Structure 1
Amino acid sequence: MRLAGTRRAALLASLVALAAAPAVAQQGALPPIVAPRDIAPVRPDQPAAAPAAPAAAPAQDAPVTFTAEEVEYDQNRALVTARGRVEAWQGNRVVRADEFTYDRNTGVATARGNVQLIEADGQVIFADSVVLENQFRDGVIEGLRGLLAQNGRVAANSARRTGGSVFDLSRVVYSSCNACEDDPLAPPLWQLRARSATLDQTGRQARYRDAVVEFAGIPTFWTPYLQHPAGDAPRQSGFLSPTFGITNFLGGFVETPYYWAIDPSQELVLRPQFATRQVPNLGLEYRRRFNFGEIEAEGSLGYLNGDEETPEGVAGHIFSRGRFSLDENWRAGFDFNRASSEDYLRIYRYGARRRLDSSVYTEGFWGTDAYARVDARIFQGLRPSDNTSLIPTVGPNIYLDWRAPVDALGGTFTFDTWNFAVFRSGGTNTQRGAFRLGYDLPMTDRLGGVWTFRAQTDVASYAFTDLALAPNNSTTANNGTAARANIRAAIAWRMPFVRPAGAYGHQVIEPILQFVGGPLTGSQSSVPNEDSIDFEFTDATLFNLNRFYGRDRQEGGTRVDYALRAAWYFPNGGLVEGLAGASYRTQQDGGPFYAGSGVENRASDYVARARVMPVPWLEFLGRGRFGQENGDLRATDLTTNISLPSRTTLTAGYLYTPAVPYLTPFQDRNEVAFGATQQWGNWRIGGFARYDIEINRPVVVTASVAYEDECFLFEARFLKRFAEDPSTNNLYPANTVLLFRIGLKTIGDVGFRAI
């Protein structure tokens, strides 16, 4: 029987259902695929178009249906033959060929001539011929070529499929690189050649034997066995790419991580590390997700042989965190971090840290109007110079803030409370209860002036033991309780004068004036200072009611803050903007400000900010503090950023800050910094350096070069640190780092590290 023309499609469905339905009752011979019936033919040099939406898996008992220019059905031989633009599909599976035959007696199906097997995820396999048998589960493919997921491309002389999902390939070539546009026949940047390979579609793995990696057609690396995920493989257990290197402490080392996909919600990475100068070290990374949160943990266990500066013995670390949603408003979490020493973390490349923080907390959110948090915290100092008796343990730490709706006048009330207990084995123990009530009322007059009325009340009570007293922080038996209240009120005015500049944008001149009043507060040395040690007077804090960041130190007295801001906004998005201002206190005593802070006198230092951005790709930003009497420079921070259309980025900066009593060592900071990055096509280079003018030596120097395209990644990094350890006054032993990374996308990467 021969069918042709418009009558063939309707009759074919019943014919093929009769001929092929028994053969497809089990796992189909072809991978799941999605392709419309009118899709244009796919050539080997063009990937198939991705489906519009993920398709459901085909029903295994669905009939095989196809169209062709000509179909024959030999009832005597039970043979169905289709010729000319044959397109067969079962559910979402599509096969195309010049000729397709199916023998009902033997169960053998044969496709010949420009065979295309199209999968649901867009992967395409091309072949010269395909022979399928054993209910379409086994088969032989001649002249296989494939376009796989993630731009993978594979070719083999022949392939045999068994069990419906395992392909054994002979003389295989694989790459994820695009063909050269100028010479498509030229070897790709890299390709993998193997004597044989196995593609496990169920396990989503590709395994190669007797494999050679070629770069530009030149054999570079040989391995007897190589395995990597195939296509869109999900999480799977297996070895990850190794890292090699050499360091001063470890000598030569190799790290061979193993990834264990425990189940769909948790995973573990084992990172055994073997070195020539140290005993093996085992690192672990664990992650688990729940319906209501997640936990992550990183840890290690090892043994340090030690030297003059590093003690010998068992060592390790753990960094962990957890986040859990309790309901729509509340969540809880923890951070637990401990380590044997900073040297251990640096030696085994777990990140150098001077201090580790751990906490457990719960917090609640109610839109933008209310927030609450209760936590407890512990800290660990990792350097031998740290006085562990002075390191605090905090708990409980309770914080709550609330913002009221805007009232009838347009003002807003705010309330917050911050209460904590701090314990030290050899220092001050403090328990504090404090709350703050504030009110803000903005108004605009008829002339365009903006008025703001603000008020703030702080009330705090303390219980303490062994209070450390200034100036030498000597500990005495100063135990007791204290209560303190402070109120600050302010009225601020600013008048923005705007002047159009025609085609050059517009200009703004804005004088700002603020009057702040409140009682004197004195030195406050009889009250513990847990949250107001750090202090910086800049243009950002000029108009704060209390210029201390915390509550334990309060600014008092009456003062006037004043500043002048000017700006010119350009039509191209650029601008020139600056601000300069200062404050004047009517009394000498305004709070416990240290000498050199800029506000220790009645007349404060001048603070200023300048920003120049004539075009969007060029910006100059500077902040500074200058002496009231002679204008001498007290502190400055200058930065320049250039982002050219040629993908060039340049940065430069200068920082000068005077020595402050709350930082060790007590010395000025006077540094310059430079950085640059440049991209050319797939290449990217960069460098950065910071130089300390005060001690006349570099602080840190870094450089990097990288190449990345659709299939290959190369990266090299250099880092040189010159920072000194104040406890030993010596340079850090491991102060130079050299990193290399080579990645073959879809295959894996390998790294090398030298210190």
Structure 2
Amino acid sequence: MSHKSSAQSVDGINEDIPALISADEVIYDEGLGVVTASGNVEISQGERTVLANSVSYNMNTNVVSATGNISLLEPSGDIVFAEHVELTDNLKEGFIRDIRILLTDRSRLAASTGQLTSGNISVFSNGVFSPCELCKDDPSKAPIWQLKAKKIVHNKTSQTIKYDHAWMEIFGVPVIYTPYLAHPDPTVKRRSGFLLPTYGNSNQLGITLQIPYYWAIDESSEFLFAPIATTKQGIVLAGEYEKKFNKGDLSIEASATIADRDENNGNVEKDEFRGQIISEGRFDLDKTWRWGFNAERATDDTYGRVYGFNTDSELETSAFIEGFRGRNFARLDSYTFQSTRNDINDSENPYVLPRAQYNFQSQPGVTGATYRLDANAQALGRSEGRDSRRVSLIGGWDLPYTGSWGDQYKLTTQIQTDGYWVNGVNTENDEIRKNGDSYTGFTGRVFPQIALEWRFPFASHRGNFSQTIEPIVQGVLAPNGSNPNEIPNDDSRDFEFDDASLFSLNRFAGTDRVDSGSRVSYGVKWTASTVSGNQADFLIGQSYRFSGKSNLHEENSGLKDAVSDIVGHIGIYTIDNFSALYRFRFDPDDLGANRNEIEVNIGPAALNLDLDYVFLKDDNIDGETSDREEVKIGINSQMTKYWSLNSSYTRDIDADSSREASLGLIYHDECIIIDSQYSRTWFQDREVEPDNRFMVELTFKHLGTIQPL
């Protein structure tokens, strides 16, 4: 027998929230006002539902009594299991015996008895809470960790679970007792409170202990106060602040301490204030414009490396406003630098105040031709050393054409006009400070270029395999010279000739130097792909300068001679856990390697290998010419569902010495994270000495985690 009854006309039920009863058999005693249901019983009222073997419902007292395989589905998504339940007030209040609750994130709470109050507060006696999954082979086995307490109160309004006289058990063994404990329930993403500590040890700092406090200020901002106690360097105050606005983001990371500091001359300064700040902001003004800043500053060169905050060789402070519209871009910015290297004098570091740039790119015309204009102006100064003011205009016109055979042409005309006012520029060398003959005054140049590029792609498709072979030739006509000694080189110092810059009109990175002289560049490009997504490509090329040797390029640059080095790359990118990239630069006379770079990633998550190798012949490092050869190997393994391992090792092959190594072992399941990391460094720079560091971080779900805004 099946019967459904709506309680709209029954006085004991809220008229706005009708009760719906469904069961195999329903008996209604009109005299007593009792409905008894048995067999697959379901009672729904509002957003709450009760499932049971047998239920009696007293309409006069509005009491629901249920027995046998009871399930109570809460509006929050929690599911309550019990053997006996008595509920009143629209299923919001009542008594429950032998209760078990599956929370929304699959955490579990169980108790001998429970009391529901207004549907918002649940009180449990002799309760147990754990977010850990039970063992499938033996559900009675203790989980990895659980909390046991004489009394557990779950307040759904404040979204908090509180414990009186609680024990934490790990694998069923009591390890920690506390008379009081509280943590957010699974519905909470962010909640203020102390996080679990991080333990570490290093030669430089001694034993370290970090106990963070997380403050959820409001829905859009948060602050993490994470001081570090060290046995060798005292207390380090550290914190991070993040704020999200409707149209931007702000982050501030700062740390400070009072500690000894080793000077370059070997002296030790006692009780010095040391610290740093790293901040970033990005803010939209409208759909076109945004502004932002970076602030990076430290009290001294070695602070970040000693305390493990950062290993950057340069800190940048800058501010900008920029706009994007169509193909056009404009930006106004200023910046300054602080070096953390021993051989760099900050008084020689440049500051730019301001720099303005504008880039215009036209839409293609009827013939496909486009116009472009790159304009920039900047004022560059130093505390000590040369200064410069620059205005630069680069205008260009590009005309593409495709022949009837598929041959492709591109004609480019470009003219660069630069005007400089300079102060104290050495005319015989590139030193920043005045040394010998120097020049102060106005200078500049006009540098035209005409280039014609030809490509002829040959494509073939066979089955699931496609490939294209494409010979490329580019001729460039330009005057020689065009780099007078009175123009300082501030933005083109890092020069790199490789396959990426082979066909660039200016192979210098900046504006202060131009790639003068007529030349021809040529190469062959091959690409291949399969339907499944595997890809490979290859490029090899060279350049020839008609004017012979260059006085502008260094001996080890690859462009010193009329015939350049041979550059190229080979890349393989598969979907079957393998990728490799080999970049090279060979001497054209004997095909000896002047540059080799290899990047390989092979293997699935179960065992993945990363290999990075670099060789630079006669690399100019800090003004000294020497070979550089280095290899870095990384092995990562997802050994099991929960256990993973990461490791890396870097070695300076040329110096025959190790640089750094690390090994990490991580356990991560649904309720706990154990992160242990060991690192070893061999390099030394003033007070930064070879060091061994060990760190262990333990995170219990709900007791110490941070989720980003």
Q: Say yes or no: TM over 0.5.
A: yes
Query: Once the two structures are superposed, what CA deviation does each residue of 1:349-408 show, in whole Å capped at 9, x if it has no partner?
Result: 4323332212221111113x1111111112223456431211222121112111100011
Question: Does 1:446 find its partner at 2:404?
Answer: yes
Match of 2:513 in 1: 553
Match of 2:441 in 1: 480
Question: Does 1:205 find its partner at 2:166?
Answer: no
Match of 2:239 in 1: 284
Match of 1:678 in 2: 637
Question: Does 1:430 find its partner at 2:385?
Answer: no
Q: CA deviation at 1:532?
A: 0.6
Contact kept, 8 Å, 1:523 with 1:591, in 2: the verdict is no
Query: Once the two structures are superposed, what CA deviation does each residue of 1:502-541 show, in whole Å capped at 9, x if it has no partner?
Result: 5694554432211110111255321021211110111111
Counterpart pick for 1:638 among 598, 614, 618: 598
Contact kept, 8 Å, 1:150 with 1:746, in 2: the verdict is no
SS at match of 2:250: strand
Q: Tell me the number of residue pairs that the alignment of Structure 1 and Structure 2 aligns.
A: 697
Rounded to whole Å, the distance in 1 between the matches of 2:86 and 2:459 is: 82
Q: CA deviation at 1:413?
A: 1.4
Contact kept, 8 Å, 1:508 with 1:567, in 2: the verdict is yes
Match of 2:607 in 1: 648
Unmatched tracts of structure 1, length 5 or more: 23-60, 751-755
SS at match of 2:9: helix
Question: Does 1:9 find its partner at 2:5?
Answer: yes
Contact kept, 8 Å, 2:126 with 2:149, in 1: the verdict is yes
> Cα gap change, 1:451/1:361 in structure 2, threshold over 3 Å: closer, same or farther?
same
Counterpart pick for 1:95 among 33, 46, 50: 50
Rounded to whole Å, the distance in 2 between the matches of 1:736 and 1:70 is: 74
Contact kept, 8 Å, 1:341 with 1:383, in 2: the verdict is no
Question: Does 1:401 find its partner at 2:359?
Answer: yes
Give TM-score, length-normalised by structure 2. 0.90
Rounded to whole Å, the distance in 1 between the matches of 2:460 and 2:43 is: 74
> Cα gap change, 1:627/1:748 in structure 2, threshold over 3 Å: closer, same or farther?
same
SS at match of 2:323: strand
Rounded to whole Å, the distance in 2 between the matches of 1:162 and 1:508 is: 73
Moved more, 188-197 or 544-553: 188-197
Contact kept, 8 Å, 1:154 with 1:175, in 2: the verdict is yes
Match of 1:187 in 2: 142
Contact kept, 8 Å, 1:13 with 1:65, in 2: the verdict is no
Q: Report the identity percentage.
A: 32
> Cα gap change, 1:649/1:90 in structure 2, threshold over 3 Å: closer, same or farther?
same
Q: CA deviation at 1:443?
A: 1.6
1:264-663 aligned within 5 A: 264-306=219-261, 312-367=271-326, 369-383=327-341, 385-471=343-429, 473=431, 474-476=433-435, 478-498=439-459, 502=462, 505=465, 508-566=468-526, 574=534, 577-588=537-548, 592-611=552-571, 616-644=576-604, 647-661=606-620, 663=622
SS at match of 1:436: strand
Letter in 1 for 2:97: E
Letter in 1 for 2:649: A
Letter in 2 for 1:440: D
Match of 2:691 in 1: 735
Query: Once the two structures are superposed, what CA deviation does each residue of 1:139-195 show, in whole Å capped at 9, x if it has no partner?
Result: 332111011122211211112344652222222222223333333333334333333
Higher strand share: 2
Rounded to whole Å, the distance in 1 between the matches of 2:5 and 2:694 is: 67
Q: CA deviation at 1:136?
A: 6.7
Letter in 2 for 1:595: E
Q: CA deviation at 1:419?
A: 1.5
Rounded to whole Å, the distance in 2 between the matches of 1:631 and 1:135 is: 86
> Cα gap change, 1:697/1:189 in structure 2, threshold over 3 Å: closer, same or farther?
same
Letter in 1 for 2:472: I
Rounded to whole Å, the distance in 1 between the matches of 2:217 and 2:646 is: 40
Match of 1:173 in 2: 128
Rounded to whole Å, the distance in 2 between the matches of 1:316 and 1:576 is: 48
Letter in 2 for 1:471: N
SS at match of 1:389: helix
Letter in 2 for 1:653: D
Match of 2:682 in 1: 722
Query: Once the two structures are superposed, what CA deviation does each residue of 1:290-331 show, in whole Å capped at 9, x if it has no partner?
Result: 222222212233211446556532233222222211111111
Query: Once the two structures are superposed, what CA deviation does each residue of 1:565-616 show, in whole Å capped at 9, x if it has no partner?
Result: 3456567655664332211111136562122211112121222323356985
Contact kept, 8 Å, 1:639 with 1:652, in 2: the verdict is yes
> Cα gap change, 1:310/1:142 in structure 2, threshold over 3 Å: closer, same or farther?
farther
Q: CA deviation at 1:219?
A: 4.0
Counterpart pick for 1:20 among 13, 16, 20: 13
Give TM-score, length-normalised by structure 1. 0.85
Q: CA deviation at 1:437?
A: 1.3
Letter in 2 for 1:488: Q
Q: CA deviation at 1:697?
A: 0.6
Match of 1:70 in 2: 26
Query: Once the two structures are superposed, what CA deviation does each residue of 1:82-107 show, in whole Å capped at 9, x if it has no partner?
Result: 55444333322222334445567766
Contact kept, 8 Å, 2:199 with 2:696, in 1: the verdict is no
Rounded to whole Å, the distance in 2 between the matches of 1:666 and 1:414 is: 39
Rounded to whole Å, the distance in 2 between the matches of 1:5 and 1:600 is: 94
> Cα gap change, 1:5/1:428 in structure 2, threshold over 3 Å: closer, same or farther?
same
Contact kept, 8 Å, 2:197 with 2:698, in 1: the verdict is no
Letter in 1 for 2:84: S
> Cα gap change, 1:184/1:218 in structure 2, threshold over 3 Å: closer, same or farther?
same
Unmatched tracts of structure 2, length 5 or more: none
Query: Once the two structures are superposed, what CA deviation does each residue of 1:552-572 show, in whole Å capped at 9, x if it has no partner?
Result: 101111111122334565676
Letter in 2 for 1:156: A
Q: CA deviation at 1:247?
A: 3.4
> Cα gap change, 1:496/1:272 in structure 2, threshold over 3 Å: closer, same or farther?
closer
> Cα gap change, 1:309/1:439 in structure 2, threshold over 3 Å: closer, same or farther?
farther
Rounded to whole Å, the distance in 2 between the matches of 1:724 and 1:251 is: 18
Rounded to whole Å, the distance in 2 between the matches of 1:291 and 1:207 is: 35
Moved more, 223-232 or 99-108: 99-108
SS at match of 2:670: coil
Moved more, 64-73 or 600-609: 64-73
Rounded to whole Å, the distance in 1 between the matches of 2:634 and 2:140 is: 42
Letter in 2 for 1:359: S
Contact kept, 8 Å, 1:342 with 1:352, in 2: the verdict is no
